């Protein structure tokens, strides 16, 4: 065999010149173009790339699980002396799960909701081996203990919805490792998880890999995760491998411009120098609570969930207040209470001295222009059937600006958020994710609000786009004197933009203070846990912030 780029000695799996063709009408001809890499035994190889880089298609091509009309064009996938690209479906079925196993991003959809965890893991064994029922049960228990699920016996009897996200992912890993595969392909296995859970799962994958000497192909978009777990790294862009090498050298000394750009886009954990904050309080929340009641008949058996409990916080004029927390911490409910998408049960929300929580519906509709929201998902938050200019002009038109005037203003706003004003006549689906989020921002700013609530505004975006949108937000804050409440689960992002930070857990504020203090010197154990869980923490801390 000739030495192809990325070849390593004693490779378990090697991909040689693999090309995958996309159906006509896709945004490019080939999902993968001439990709070569090899995976050695006992190593974790991270494949890094942004959305559309072809990294998931590569995993599916190895498993020969490509979508309809997406076909392997040329190249070989060598595994145990065989070319998987040319293997028969029957051979592949024998291989999948037994020799090459896979774990996915969302364990809830990868598990069958109608069967117990133990049953599903046991199925792997009964399909591929001839073990007796009792032996299978014993192996399932051992596997669940291996992935450190608390109380394996009960977990085996549980249905997927009865476990937490992290436990489900542990169960998926147990299932993948059931037959001691030589290769484990992990496709963004921690992306859907909270940061503390992510840290635990990464540690588990590392531990199991070392114990079993499995070769792991780990697909991720996050260079923090790479810094945490990778032995070697492959960087992909538009279906092409742009750079590969040992993790240390790629992280410390990236050669390709794209790699450098990706690493530079990872937000560092160091807070920018503190800004002087105004003494004037523009938004003042005190004792805001919201409780959900669900199910139950006439009060019996009802479940009561306190989503937000007695939250008090203040936002100085011109400041940016970060609300950080994991899923279920109540941060999004709080944001929706502030804009009154949800009515809080109790407490007061004073906006420029006026109680916002007590406004009636009709008053609220008039006053809503003072407080605007940017939503998380740029694909879902814009009505697909309206043109971009319409979307931006909608707010002012509702509040009485003549239509022609509002549309003219919309074009100015387009320029303000860094979009081409001539693109204003296009529909949302003709824009990229980052551009759509700019439209969402322009839309919120069209009403000239005093306070902007940004609910995870960059979470759905690729890292490089994320950095651009954050920079835009910082820039607009300076120019327009915006007061912002910035909600995020990502502490790295919060560190970039926030003057003050509030940490929420189970609906309560557990810590608040200036960003530098909270991140540099946290006192609450939960804040410490959050900070320690940031993937590649040492890597993120050692770098400088985005030059603003």
Q: Which stretch binds other proteins (CB under 8 A): 101-109, 141-149, 305-313, 391-399?
A: 391-399
Choose which of 152, 181, 440, 457 interacts with other proteins (CB under 8 A): 440
Choose which of 212, 399, 448, 524 interacts with other proteins (CB under 8 A): 399
Choose which of 293, 365, 403, 538 interacts with other proteins (CB under 8 A): 365
Nearer residue to other proteins within complex by CB, 68 or 279: 68
**Ramachandran region of residue 328, left (φ > 0), alpha (ψ -120 to 50) or beta?**
left
CA torsion angle 129 134 140 143 (round to 10): -90
Strands 11-21 and 30-40: antiparallel
User: What number of CA atoms fall less than 13 Å from residue 265's CA on the CB side?
Assistant: 22
7/179 Cα distance (integer angstroms): 27
Choose which of 255, 341, 355, 358 interacts with other proteins (CB under 8 A): 341
421/402 Cα distance (integer angstroms): 19
Work out whether 130 is an interface residue with other proteins (CB under 8 A).
no
Contact status, residue 15 vs residue 36, Cβ threshold 8 Å: yes
252/240 Cα distance (integer angstroms): 22
Choose which of 19, 167, 381, 533 interacts with other proteins (CB under 8 A): 381
542/464 Cα distance (integer angstroms): 19
Helix, strand, coil: what percent of the chain each, to 5? Answer: 40, 25, 35
Work out whether 403 is an interface residue with other proteins (CB under 8 A).
no
DSSP assignment string, 279-316 = S-EEEEEEEEEEEEEES-BTTBT-EEEEEEEEEEEEEE
Q: DSSP secondary-structure letter at 273?
A: P
- # binding residues, other proteins (CB under 8 A): 28
Q: Which stretch binds other proteins (CB under 8 A): 168-176, 246-254, 362-370, 527-535?
A: 362-370
Q: Which stretch binds other proteins (CB under 8 A): 161-169, 263-271, 324-332, 361-369?
A: 361-369
Nearer residue to other proteins within complex by CB, 93 or 340: 340
DSSP assignment string, 497-537 = H-SEEEEEETTEEEEEEEHHHHHHS--SHHHHHHHHHSTTH
Cα dist from 61 to 33, 55, 70, 172, whole Å: 12, 10, 9, 21
16/75 Cα distance (integer angstroms): 6
Choose which of 443, 500, 505, 512 interacts with other proteins (CB under 8 A): 443
Choose which of 339, 388, 424, 484 interacts with other proteins (CB under 8 A): 339
Q: Which stretch binds other proteins (CB under 8 A): 71-79, 87-95, 181-189, 441-449?
A: 441-449
- Give the shortest CB-353-to-other proteins separation in angstroms: 21
Q: Which stretch binds other proteins (CB under 8 A): 74-82, 194-202, 294-302, 363-371?
A: 363-371
Nearer residue to other proteins within complex by CB, 205 or 391: 391
Contact status, residue 291 vs residue 304, Cβ threshold 8 Å: yes
Q: DSSP secondary-structure letter at 336?
A: H
Work out whether 385 is an interface residue with other proteins (CB under 8 A).
yes
Nearer residue to other proteins within complex by CB, 99 or 381: 381
Q: Would you give the distance in Å from CA 402 to the centre of its chain?
A: 40
Work out whether 437 is an interface residue with other proteins (CB under 8 A).
no
Choose which of 76, 206, 317, 369 interacts with other proteins (CB under 8 A): 369
Cα dist from 21 to 29, 32, 55, 63, 239, whole Å: 6, 7, 14, 16, 11
- Give the shortest CB-172-to-other proteins separation in angstroms: 28
Work out whether 270 is an interface residue with other proteins (CB under 8 A).
no
User: What number of CA atoms fall less than 13 Å from residue 225's CA on the CB side?
Assistant: 28
Work out whether 368 is an interface residue with other proteins (CB under 8 A).
yes
Nearer residue to other proteins within complex by CB, 377 or 517: 377
- Give the shortest CB-375-to-other proteins separation in angstroms: 5
Choose which of 81, 295, 384, 547 interacts with other proteins (CB under 8 A): 384
Work out whether 394 is an interface residue with other proteins (CB under 8 A).
yes
- Give the shortest CB-362-to-other proteins separation in angstroms: 9
Choose which of 376, 437, 488, 527 interacts with other proteins (CB under 8 A): 376
- Give the shortest CB-187-to-other proteins separation in angstroms: 23
Helix, strand, or coil here: 230? coil
Helix, strand, or coil here: 395? helix
Q: How many CB atoms lie within 10 A of CB 200?
A: 17
Nearer residue to other proteins within complex by CB, 89 or 384: 384
Contact status, residue 312 vs residue 287, Cβ threshold 8 Å: yes
Contact status, residue 486 vs residue 456, Cβ threshold 8 Å: no
Nearer residue to other proteins within complex by CB, 25 or 273: 25
Choose which of 126, 278, 305, 383 interacts with other proteins (CB under 8 A): 383
Nearer residue to other proteins within complex by CB, 444 or 494: 444
Nearer residue to other proteins within complex by CB, 317 or 399: 399
Question: Where does this chain bind other proteins (CB under 8 A)?
Answer: 68, 336, 339, 341, 364-366, 368-369, 372-373, 375-377, 380-385, 394-395, 398-399, 440, 443-444, 447
């Amino acid at each position: 065999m000739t030495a192809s780029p990325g070849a390593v000695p004693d490779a378990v799996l090697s991909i040689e010149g693999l090309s995958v063709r996309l159906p006509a009408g896709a945004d490019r001809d080939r999902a993968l173009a001439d990709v070569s890499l090899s995976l050695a035994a006992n190593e974790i190889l991270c494949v890094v790339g942004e959305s559309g880089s072809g990294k998931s298609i590569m995993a599916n091509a190895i498993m020969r699980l490509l979508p309809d009309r997406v076909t392997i064009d040329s190249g070989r996938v060598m595994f145990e002396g065989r070319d998987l690209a040319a293997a028969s479906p029957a051979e592949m079925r024998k291989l999948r799960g037994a020799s090459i196993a896979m774990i996915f991003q969302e364990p809830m959809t990868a598990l069958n909701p109608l069967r117990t965890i133990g049953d599903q893991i046991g199925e792997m064994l009964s399909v591929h081996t001839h073990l007796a029922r009792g032996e299978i049960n014993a192996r399932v228990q051992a596997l669940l203990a291996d992935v450190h699920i608390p109380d394996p016996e009960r977990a085996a009897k549980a249905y997927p919805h009865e476990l937490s996200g992290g436990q489900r992912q542990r169960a998926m890993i147990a299932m993948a490792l059931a037959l001691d595969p030589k290769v484990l392909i992990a496709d963004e296995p921690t992306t859907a998880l909270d940061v503390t859970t992510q840290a635990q799962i990464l540690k588990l994958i590392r531990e199991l890999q070392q114990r079993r000497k499995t070769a792991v192909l780990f697909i991720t978009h996050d260079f923090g995760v790479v810094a945490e777990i990778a032995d070697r790294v492959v960087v992909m862009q538009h279906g092409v491998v742009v750079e590969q090498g040992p993790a240390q050298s790629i992280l410390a000394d990236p050669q390709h411009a794209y790699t450098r750009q990706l690493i530079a886009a990872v937000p560092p954990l160091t807070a920018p120098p503190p800004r002087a904050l105004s003494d004037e309080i523009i938004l003042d929340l005190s004792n805001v609570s919201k409780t959900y009641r669900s199910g139950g008949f006439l009060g019996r058996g009802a479940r009561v969930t306190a989503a937000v409990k007695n939250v008090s916080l203040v936002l100085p004029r011109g400041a940016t207040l970060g609300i950080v927390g994991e899923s279920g911490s109540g941060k999004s409910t709080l944001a929706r209470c502030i804009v009154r998408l949800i009515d809080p049960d109790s407490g007061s929300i004073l906006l420029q001295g006026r109680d916002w929580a007590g406004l009636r519906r009709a008053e609220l509709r008039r006053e809503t222009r003072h407080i605007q929201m940017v939503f998380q998902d740029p694909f879902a938050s814009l009505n697909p059937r309206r043109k971009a200019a319409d979307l931006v002009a909608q707010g002012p038109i509702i509040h009485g600006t003549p239509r022609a005037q509002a549309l003219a203003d919309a074009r100015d706003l387009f320029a303000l958020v860094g979009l081409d004003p001539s693109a204003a006549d296009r529909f949302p689906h003709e824009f990229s994710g980052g551009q759509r989020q700019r439209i969402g921002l322009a839309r919120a700013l069209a009403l000239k609000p005093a306070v902007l609530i940004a609910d995870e505004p960059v979470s759905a975006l690729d890292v490089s786009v994320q950095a651009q949108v954050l920079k835009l937000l910082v820039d607009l804050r300076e120019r327009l004197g915006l007061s912002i409440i910035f909600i995020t689960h990502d502490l790295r992002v919060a560190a970039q933009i926030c003057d003050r930070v509030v940490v929420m857990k189970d609906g309560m504020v557990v810590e608040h203070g200036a960003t530098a203090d909270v991140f540099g010197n946290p006192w609450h154990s939960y804040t410490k846990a959050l900070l320690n869980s940031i993937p590649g923490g040492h890597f993120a801390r050692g770098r400088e912030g985005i030059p603003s």
